[in-house]
């Protein structure tokens, strides 16, 4: 069934996601604060709205893809009064679990329905329509959103109640951040022991050290030709985004009183690394800072 969808936040991720909804036959009304972002989405068939509130008027579903929790909560305060009662709000941004639960609470208090549905897969996945969605909210809301999620992604997992999608996202990315540091440290140790990158890769990629950070996004050039290390660490998944996600994980660890030394340390290391690398380098480039520090 084709739906009328309001799409707010047409940046690197939102624009290609909205374009895939248009391709699937949905009527997509979009808004972004940056005129150039809105114009590029319009070129892909999105109908422009002069404000977010005007975009949601008459929409069956409202999708948002914004930088952080404060943007989502600010947006919800702006648009909830303008939406039809019962409209389904689906926030795909990566935000704090606590902010996601606050957003759900505000939406339901205003007579709306709500899901958090952050994504994995990056800009490449958004363009190809192969994102993985992890959703939090009710069964009925997930079922209603599913045809749209399927139009933008290859897989959607219903993780539980409000905030469970964000929880899955930050737990997954904490595993990824910690494992990338572990793999990078192992390669730098191998260098000091005279062990070649290829030899370590050949052993660990089929032994108990195997993980995505090693076998897909290998942080040294050579063993995995498609990994960002082979193109001078152009992203990929930018260091700044990993720092952001680990910061969200660290907030949740502290709030929950969880004794997770590696998760907290990984957040610190990526924050320092991202100050230098920003969005220009893939997160696997952290191997270079480990190497530099080791020879200081």
Annotated active-site residue 244? The verdict is no
Q: Are 145 and 175 in contact (CB under 8 A)?
A: no
Contact 61, 148 (CB under 8 A): yes
Q: Please say which residue, 16 or 223, places its beta carbon nearer to ligand NAD.
A: 16
Q: Which residue has the tokens 């290609």?
A: 16
Smallest distance from the beta carbon of 7 to ligand NAD, in angstroms? Answer: 10
Phi, psi of 207, rounded to the nearest 5 degrees: -115, -165
Which residues contact ligand NAD (rule: CB under 6 A)? Answer: 8-14, 31-34, 37, 52, 65-67, 71, 74-75, 93-94, 119, 122-123, 241, 244
Helix (H, G, I), strand (E, B) or coil at 200: helix
DSSP for 241-290, please give it.
HHHHHHHHHHHHHHHHT---HHHHHHHHHHHHHHHHHTTTSBGGGHHHHH
8 Å CB contact between 104 and 116: yes
Of residues 31, 71, 104, 169, which has the active-site annotation? 169
CB 224 to ligand NAD: min, Å: 20
Shorter beta-carbon distance to ligand NAD: residue 33 or 195: 33
Which residue, 65 or 253, is less far from ligand NAD as judged by CB?
Answer: 65
DSSP strand pairing (113-116 vs 88-91): parallel
214 or 246: whose CB is closer to ligand NAD? 246
* Local structure of residue 6 (DSSP, 8 states): E
Catalytic residues: 169
């Amino acid at each position: 069934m084709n739906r009328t969808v309001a799409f707010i936040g047409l940046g690197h991720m939102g624009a290609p996601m909205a374009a895939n909804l248009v391709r699937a036959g949905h009527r997509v009304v979009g808004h972004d604060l940056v005129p150039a972002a809105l114009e590029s989405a319009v070129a892909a068939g999105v109908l422009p709205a002069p404000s977010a509130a005007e975009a949601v008027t008459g929409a069956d579903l409202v999708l948002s893809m914004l930088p952080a929790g404060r943007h989502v909560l600010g947006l919800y305060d702006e648009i909830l009064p303008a939406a039809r009662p019962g409209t389904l709000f689906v926030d795909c941004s990566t935000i704090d679990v606590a902010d996601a639960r606050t957003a759900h609470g505000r939406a339901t208090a205003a007579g709306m329905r709500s899901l958090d549905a952050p994504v994995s897969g990056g800009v490449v996945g958004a363009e190809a329509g192969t994102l993985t969605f992890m959703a939090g909210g009710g069964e009925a809301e997930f079922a209603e959103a599913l045809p749209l999620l399927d139009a933008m992604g290859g897989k959607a997992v219903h993780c539980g109640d409000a905030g469970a999608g964000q929880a899955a996202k930050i737990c997954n990315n904490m595993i990824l951040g910690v494992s990338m540091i572990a793999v990078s440290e192992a390669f730098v140790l191998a260098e000091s022991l005279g062990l070649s990158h290829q030899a370590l890769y050949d052993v660990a990629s089929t032994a108990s050290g195997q993980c995505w950070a090693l076998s897909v996004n290998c942080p040294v050039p050579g063993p995995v030709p498609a990994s960002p290390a082979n193109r001078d660490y152009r992203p990929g998944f930018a260091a700044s985004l990993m720092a952001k996600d680990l910061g969200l994980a660290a907030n949740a660890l502290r709030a929950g009183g969880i004794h997770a030394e590696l998760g907290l340390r990984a957040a610190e290391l990526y924050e320092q690394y991202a100050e230098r690398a920003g969005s220009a380098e893939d997160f696997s480039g952290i191997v270079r800072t480990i190497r530099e520090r080791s020879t200081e």
